[in-house]
Amino acid sequence: MFGLFRKSPEQQAQDEAKIQASLSKTRQGFFGRISTLFQANEITDDTWTELEELLIQADLGVNTALEVVEKLQARVKKENLKRVEDVRAALKAELVSLLAYPPFTSLEEPRMLTVVLIVGVNGSGKTTSIAKLAKYYKNRGRKVVLAAADTFRAAAIDQIKIWGERVGVEVVAQAPGADPGAVVFDAIRASQESRKAEMLIVDTAGRLHTKYNLMKELEKVRAVCARQVHNAPHETLLVLDATTGQNAISQAKHFKDSVQVSGIILTKLDGTAKGGIVFAIEQELGVPVRFVGTGEKPDDFAEFDPVAFVNGILD
């Protein structure tokens, strides 16, 4: 019940393989053209111009694209890199450094009960991601419970129940329209007492009548968590759909105004050629991508890894 849940090397390798496999569309898009640039015999002035343009088109954002090219040029000069493959490796290192957040360990810390809030709009892949996250930690030996606290939509409760059954974790739910705070209160009690769970994942409303209502509701849910469990919620993860591109960024800004977001679950990485959105998320929101959805099945999910990601987009 009380212990550190470190990822094994096998699990790390699985995560890396899933990330890389899910990026085939992105690899064939603008990043594919970047890879082609580095198959030439030499680096010319045109290479730099093209690289800059392609990075912008790949969704890095103008400022970030310019910064990457400037840093790369400086590095090439300083380290006197002549071979095209060395420049390519240096580009990868620059891209990885854009994603270099402190390692994600907060869900591995020993606690009696770890509480994770999931926020995001309906349609982003929120329900599927909750089930995948539950399965991910269940596979790593943890007892997980889900709380169906998106009581605004009856369908949301049903879907969580169906997915809970599918991945073999218990769901605490009440009737549609119930007070989400009460659902969370019950779920925490059940996790601590009868269910003896180590991780509680809470689904929250993706949409209410107004942004103000949404903010109030999410605040209330947070307050219930904080009152019952020390330092809870330990993570608040926002689910974003990678296929919606810049729209995902504006959605994220909307949520960030309403609730403290500690990380992103980026879904449908397999369904987009614009995996470059990962860089824009980190740069524009300052929030790390922590997990990615890599397909529709419950196991199509991985903890985000910057090196695997960059290798995946540029191989």
Under rule CB under 6 A, residue 275 binds ligand GDP: no
Residue of the chain from 126, 195, 274, 290 that contacts ligand GDP (CB under 6 A)? 126
Task: Give the torsion sign (CA, 2, 12, 91, 58).
Answer: negative
- Annotate 153-190 with b (16+ C-beta within 10 A) or e (fewer): eeebbebbeebbeebebbbbbbeeeeebbebbbbbbeb
Full DSSP string of 10-76: HHHHHHHHHHHHHTHHHHHTHHHHHHHHTTSSS--HHHHHHHHHHHIIIII-HHHHHHHHHHHHHHH
Under rule CB under 6 A, residue 271 binds ligand GDP: yes
Under rule CB under 6 A, residue 312 binds ligand GDP: no
Closest distance to ligand GDP from the beta carbon of 311 (Å) = 20
Strands (DSSP E) found in 129-191? 144-148, 170-172
Cβ proximity to ligand GDP: between 43 and 117 the closer is 117
Closest distance to ligand GDP from the beta carbon of 110 (Å) = 30
Closest distance to ligand GDP from the beta carbon of 136 (Å) = 13
Residue of the chain from 70, 79, 296, 315 that contacts ligand GDP (CB under 6 A)? 296
Ranges within 222-241 binding ligand GDP (CB under 6 A): none
Cβ proximity to ligand GDP: between 61 and 276 the closer is 276
Cβ proximity to ligand GDP: between 109 and 296 the closer is 296
Nearest in space to 239 (alpha carbons), one of 274, 268, 217: 268
Residue of the chain from 88, 268, 274, 290 that contacts ligand GDP (CB under 6 A)? 268
Ranges within 238-267 binding ligand GDP (CB under 6 A): 267
Q: Between the CA atoms of 41, 47, 48 and 51, what dihedral angle is there, to the nearest 10 degrees?
A: -110
Applying CB under 6 A, the site for ligand GDP has a residue count of 16
291 close to 278: Cβ distance less than 8 angstroms: no
54 close to 30: Cβ distance less than 8 angstroms: yes
Cβ proximity to ligand GDP: between 94 and 270 the closer is 270
Residue of the chain from 20, 114, 127, 151 that contacts ligand GDP (CB under 6 A)? 127
Under rule CB under 6 A, residue 20 binds ligand GDP: no
Residue of the chain from 170, 217, 270, 305 that contacts ligand GDP (CB under 6 A)? 270
Strands (DSSP E) found in 153-311? 170-172, 199-203, 235-241, 263-267, 289-293, 301-303
Residue of the chain from 123, 168, 177, 286 that contacts ligand GDP (CB under 6 A)? 123
Closest distance to ligand GDP from the beta carbon of 56 (Å) = 26
Q: Please identify, among the stretches 37-45, 51-59, 65-73, 287-295, the one whose residues bind ligand GDP according to the rule CB under 6 A.
A: 287-295
Pairing type for strands 114-119 and 235-241 reads: parallel
- Position of tokens 């009548």? 209
Under rule CB under 6 A, residue 298 binds ligand GDP: no
Cβ proximity to ligand GDP: between 52 and 303 the closer is 303
Residue of the chain from 295, 304, 306, 313 that contacts ligand GDP (CB under 6 A)? 295
C-alpha–C-alpha distance, residues 226 and 263, integer Å = 18
Q: Which residues are within 8 A (CB) of 8 and not within 5 positions of it... i.e. 6 or more apart?
A: none
C-alpha–C-alpha distance, residues 46 and 222, integer Å = 52
Region of 196 on the Ramachandran plot (φ > 0 left; ψ -120 to 50 alpha; else beta) = left
Cβ proximity to ligand GDP: between 265 and 310 the closer is 265
Residues that bind ligand GDP (CB under 6 A): 122-128, 267-268, 270-271, 293-296, 300
